[in-house]
Amino acid sequence: MNMYYKIILLVVVLVATGCAVSKNPLRQQVKLLQEGIIKDDTSYVYALPYEEGKTFRVLQGYFTGFTHRERAALDFNMKRGTKITAARDGVVVRAKEDGTLGGLNKKYRSHGNNIVIQHADNSRAGYWHLQHNGALVNVGDSVKKGQVIAISGKTGFAFVPHLHFLVWTSKDGQWQQVATRFQTSKGIKYLRGWKKYRNSPSE
């Protein structure tokens, strides 16, 4: 099955599962943030996790059906071999690149190559489904926003090649996923599923 038909099938699955609404209380907050109803937002503005001038589509957004029903995560549609960049300055605290398998089966979860970067406020960002030997940084490395850190792939629980991106913050000793806003060519946005976003200064 070629990539085009895989993406069409994924869209069908997402539509079919869209009625499965998340019960996470953060879901409603994310919706208000996306619609601009919440105005006093002082959260950090992340860079899109790919090179300047590039445009990618968000396959799955925050708290959508299929695999993100309870996740404040984003899936960017990326071909294998795409350069992934750090969305924020930080220090690498995890780098796995020995996974070789991937597919739409939970048995592949442990094979998902990933990088986790800790930021100055102790939040962390994760970059998942990297290709085999696709981590370009090591644990302990300091990285800068926009620096190329990895190569995309399709390892782990993944239907098509893509970048799975998410951010956690620690609250009362518990890690909690959070939605993040990004600088895009159209201004600062909370990204939405199935829309394309260009990494460049506001036009």
Q: What is the pLDDT of residues 61-118, one digit of tens each?
A: 999 877 888 899 999 999 999 999 999 999 999 999 999 999 999 999 999 999 999 9
3-state helix, strand, coil in the chain (%, to 5): 15, 40, 45
Helix (H) or strand (E) holding 182: strand 181-184
Residue 15 reports pLDDT greater than 50:
no
Residue 68 in domain? yes
Q: Are 78 and 48 in contact (CB under 8 A)?
A: no
Residue 14 in domain? yes
Question: What is the pLDDT, as a whole number, of residue 119?
Answer: 98
Model pTM?
A: 0.88
Reported confidence tier of residue 16, pLDDT bands at 50, 70, 90 = very low
For residue 194, what are the domain limits?
A: 3-198
Which CATH number characterizes residue 60's domain?
Answer: 2.70.70.10
Distance between CA atoms of 3 and 71, rounded to whole angstroms? 25
Q: Looking at the 3D structure of the chain, how many domains does it have?
A: 1
Residue 203 in domain? no
CA distances from 124 to 5, 80, 119, 203 (A): 34, 24, 6, 29
Residue 145 in domain? yes
Reported confidence tier of residue 22, pLDDT bands at 50, 70, 90 = low
Residue 36 in domain? yes
Residue 78 in domain? yes
pLDDT digits over 26-55, tens only?
A: 888 888 888 888 877 999 999 999 999 999
